[in-house]
Structure 1
Amino acid sequence: MAKEECKLHIAMFPWLAFGHMIPSLNLAKLIAQRGHRISFISTPRNIDRFPKLPPHLSSLITFVKLPLPLTEHLPEDAQATIGMPPNKVPRLKNAHDRLQDSITHFLQSSRPDWIIQDFAAYWLPDIARNLGVRSAFFSIYLAATVTFSGPTLTVDSRKKPEDFTVSPNWVPFPTKVAFHHFEVLRIFDSLSGADGAKPATQSFLEVLRGVDVVAIKSCYEFEPEWFQLLEDMHKKPIFPVGVIAPKLEDNANQDDDKWRPIKEWLDKQAERSVVYIAFGTEAKIRNDELTEIAYGLELSGLPFFWVLRIDDDSELPEGFEERVKGRGIVCTTWAPQMKILAHDSIGGFLTHSGWGSVVEALLFERPLVLLTIDTDQGLNARLFEEKKIGFPIPRDHQDGSFTRQSVADALRLVVVMEEGKVYRDKAKEMSRLIGDRDMQEKYIDKFLAHLTAHRPPMDAKDQDGN
């Protein structure tokens, strides 16, 4: 077979959240660098908001715009979860499910070898199989999280919130990986389907059951026991594809006007003294939590840079910004997170425990202080705590409450105190793993070797005459 004939055509269809689309796009770039063709599927508005492709990849990655069907009580421009109230997300999921006909038509006309999909398109593996297209699930979630979502070969009897606060009975080793009660309550409508959309756990299981291969944005070296358990549970190939860490140089010359004043302030701070605080683009902090975080930062005495998304319900304590003037900055617009985390003055990162943000922090040896807010973050935080790369702010496991003093104490422990040295040392160790580009390349090569070896035969793709 000629070398060019070995190249794959891969379609990719991530869930309509930028925390899913951007990692999928980064994976697409790694695949396209090896000469494979990518058809990247999303809605028009999402695609228009993606970063520009590097010139050398623009001929290999084609964006496929599928308009989202009009849905009652869902604004026409609402094509992603960003900026969307939580009660509207189920409507977006239901609109997303109505893309089935468009996806089917695309697969029939373009005949990719594989489609790499997300957890939400529970209906896609059957469509792909019927058309002779192989399917893979790309999980932006850790292997531990995918394991927690449930088994595909045995029954998952979890029904009540309390059932999700303990390690599942299919996990044979001791672990802290489970939700706290308040974390389950915040997402239980999504887990159970009470929000009017397909239950998230069922979507996960139907996708895991239906696809040919599972690819996970993680590495075996970080969570070997979970990868092994996943293979045992699902009896199909499970591939780590690496942490897909971004490169600082990718946006080195972007947003200089925004970065310059931030850098000037950071340059004045002592090395490893500043706390960076950010909770992602979509996490919603309650105002009582916001108040305790603000007072905790004040009590800690540490310099800080806080990227805070303010809305109509958010309000900082009266006089807070005046009292911390010079020592702390509250940034209410977008900030260049990678550049900030890379700066020598950053000594710790107060985070919601999102895996993407954590990868960026560990790349630059930044120890973590953990404060979960939503989705899979509780499971992530337990794993990070277990592996000593993050210290959780103590809080009530039933209602999630915490105090300003606990915020201050946790920040000081991780950034400056001797007891926190274990977290600082572990962050340095993890930086070597996260930043290992050779390992990343090998993971992608191994995954693609499998996809190439198991591409559908031509007669399967041509079975209906195309």
Structure 2
Amino acid sequence: MMNSGSFKIIMFPWLAHGHIFPFLQLAKKLLMKKSFHIYICSTAINLTSINDFIAANSLQSSIEAVELHLHPHPDLPPHLHTTRNLPTHLNFSLHRAFQTSKSSFSHILAALRPDLIIFDVFQPWAAALGVPAVHFALLGAATRAFTYHHYVDGAAAFPFPELRCDEGERRSLDELVEFLSANVFDSNPDFVFANYKASAEVVLMKTCRSVEGKYVDYVEFVSGKRILTVGALVDHAAEAVAEAESSPIMEWLSRNPRNSTVYICFGSECLLSEGEIAEIAKGLSLCKSRFLWILPSPSAELLPPEFEAKVGERGMVVAGWAPQARILGHSSIAAFVSHCGWSSLNESVFHGVPVVAMPMKYNMFVDAKMLVAAGVCVEVRRGGGGGYEGAAIAVAIDGAVFGRAAEELRCRAREMSEKMREEEGAGEIDEAAELLWRICCNNKPTP
């Protein structure tokens, strides 16, 4: 039951766990500050995990899940109305299908009559439906700075040479930008900041000034929009039980010495090929470090049959889901081998864990280079064909675990973690909650 003194907010994330979860964490933080009633809008396949979050955090009276409908698509049955385990070749098809949800979303607005919309990156039209709308930017400021320079203002001198990517690294981002420009932003030449300019008064950004301060300042300048950073949005409930609850994973980690183990996870939305899995397996066979490798169930079937016998008790392979925040908070974890999704990078640094970067596509290359420049990340050197090779993976892992350079890496990661936590305690989320409340007040009709 909604509190009569509440304002109603509809949150509208993209159909990916890496987008939905930060929206939920933002909702949880806002509810600690103000009496909002929040609706999370997504497709049916995502509602179970949304409702699980609501129940786990006892937020049933403040957050409700609302079903969004996409038009039928022959290649996208309802269980694929999400990026989780979505075959790569259907990625753009899901984006196209998502654009068909405008009519469903409009019906939701008519039924709920919200005071405010908080919208994601791939639905700029959500800000033009007669309700005040604020953009929540889930990509970091370094990525936005890079995309602005590369796709809009390439003639100007780029102030951040540490972010430069080679042609191969840019290829997938070029393809995505070309597709989005034509299919989502209607070939708007100002597409890089279209959501920013449509946002009422301010843009919320999932980042920390202690990590990306100079990039945030640059994006504010070139976009002309005020940015409020809302932090890493790490799940503190998971962090609090990291050492308290037992499970086979946590029990195995607890038998390992401090700073002895690398955690390898590429998420459920980055599906590795058989060749990529083979090279990672080769790297783990060659390295000296202990390791915990999390693989989606279909990918685990592609492991070389002799791999687990070869590494023995030095490593643990888990097929399926694992509690990432709890793992990163464990004292035995020395480094995180990651595909460099933005949420994963934030979680790793928040827990003081250096990153061994294996960026796969899109903005991941930019974000990895930003953290390398910050001194909390090492990037695996790619082979001549552009892929990652086992020997280079092993070198990067052992370099992040053993020796003086590894200890310096962990020291810088711990320092950055402390700054992120301090910033979270005195951050801009309070200001964001006040500003959103004021926007809702201004939108409320006078009785």
Q: How does 1:7-46 map to 2 (within 5 A)?
A: 7-34=6-33, 35-46=35-46
Contact 2:380 2:388 in 1 (8 A): yes
Taking the aligned partners of 1:247 and 1:201, their CA distance within structure 2 comes to 41
Change beyond 3 A, Cα 1:71–1:360: same
- From 422, 425, 428, the counterpart of 1:443: 428
Alignment correspondent of 1:209: 197
1:121 maps onto 2:111 in alignment: no
1:171 Cα deviation after fit? 6.4
1:184 maps onto 2:170 in alignment: yes
Taking the aligned partners of 1:58 and 1:171, their CA distance within structure 2 comes to 50
Contact 2:339 2:364 in 1 (8 A): yes
1:135 Cα deviation after fit? 1.2
1:415 Cα deviation after fit? 0.8
Contact 2:380 2:392 in 1 (8 A): yes
1:65 maps onto 2:61 in alignment: no
Structure 1 or 2: more helix by fraction: 2
- The code of the aligned residue for 1:179 comes to C
SS for the counterpart of 1:193 is: helix
Change beyond 3 A, Cα 1:380–1:432: same
Contact 1:287 1:314 in 2 (8 A): no
Taking the aligned partners of 1:170 and 1:231, their CA distance within structure 2 comes to 17
- The code of the aligned residue for 1:380 comes to D
Say which is worse superposed, 108-117 or 266-275, in terms of deviation: 108-117
Change beyond 3 A, Cα 1:97–1:289: same
Say which is worse superposed, 304-313 or 56-65, in terms of deviation: 304-313
Taking the aligned partners of 2:377 and 2:32, their CA distance within structure 1 comes to 34
Change beyond 3 A, Cα 1:87–1:194: farther
- From 341, 345, 349, the counterpart of 2:332: 345
Alignment correspondent of 1:430: 416
- The code of the aligned residue for 1:210 comes to A
1:391 maps onto 2:390 in alignment: no
Contact 2:123 2:184 in 1 (8 A): no
Q: Show CA shifts across 1:35-61 (max 9, x none).
A: 212121112221123224256522111
Contact 2:242 2:330 in 1 (8 A): no
Taking the aligned partners of 1:44 and 1:401, their CA distance within structure 2 comes to 36
1:305 maps onto 2:304 in alignment: no
SS for the counterpart of 2:211 is: coil
Q: Show CA shifts across 1:375-394 (max 9, x none).
A: 32111101011111100011
Q: How does 1:227-238 map to 2 (within 5 A)?
A: 227-238=216-227
1:290 Cα deviation after fit? 2.1
SS for the counterpart of 1:10 is: strand
Change beyond 3 A, Cα 1:340–1:194: closer
Contact 1:177 1:383 in 2 (8 A): yes
Taking the aligned partners of 1:417 and 1:429, their CA distance within structure 2 comes to 19
SS for the counterpart of 2:79 is: coil
Say which is worse superposed, 180-189 or 291-300, in terms of deviation: 180-189
Change beyond 3 A, Cα 1:68–1:317: same
SS for the counterpart of 1:455 is: helix
- The code of the aligned residue for 1:320 comes to F
- The code of the aligned residue for 1:247 comes to H
Taking the aligned partners of 1:195 and 1:254, their CA distance within structure 2 comes to 46
Q: Show CA shifts across 1:181-229 (max 9, x none).
A: 3333234432212998437996654322322221101122221111111
The number of aligned residues is 439
SS for the counterpart of 1:325 is: helix
Change beyond 3 A, Cα 1:250–1:109: farther
Task: For structure 2, list consecutive stretches of 5 or more residues without a partner in the other structure.
Answer: none
Q: State the Cα RMSD in Å.
A: 3.0
Change beyond 3 A, Cα 1:245–1:55: closer
Alignment correspondent of 1:371: 358
SS for the counterpart of 1:221 is: helix
Contact 1:365 1:431 in 2 (8 A): yes
Greater than 4 Å deviation, 4+ residue runs: 155-158, 168-172, 194-197, 199-204, 248-251, 253-256
- The code of the aligned residue for 1:66 comes to L
* Identical positions, percent: 27
- The code of the aligned residue for 2:7 comes to L
Taking the aligned partners of 2:243 and 2:94, their CA distance within structure 1 comes to 32
Contact 2:115 2:443 in 1 (8 A): no
Taking the aligned partners of 2:233 and 2:371, their CA distance within structure 1 comes to 18
TM-score computed with the length of structure 2 as normaliser:
0.89
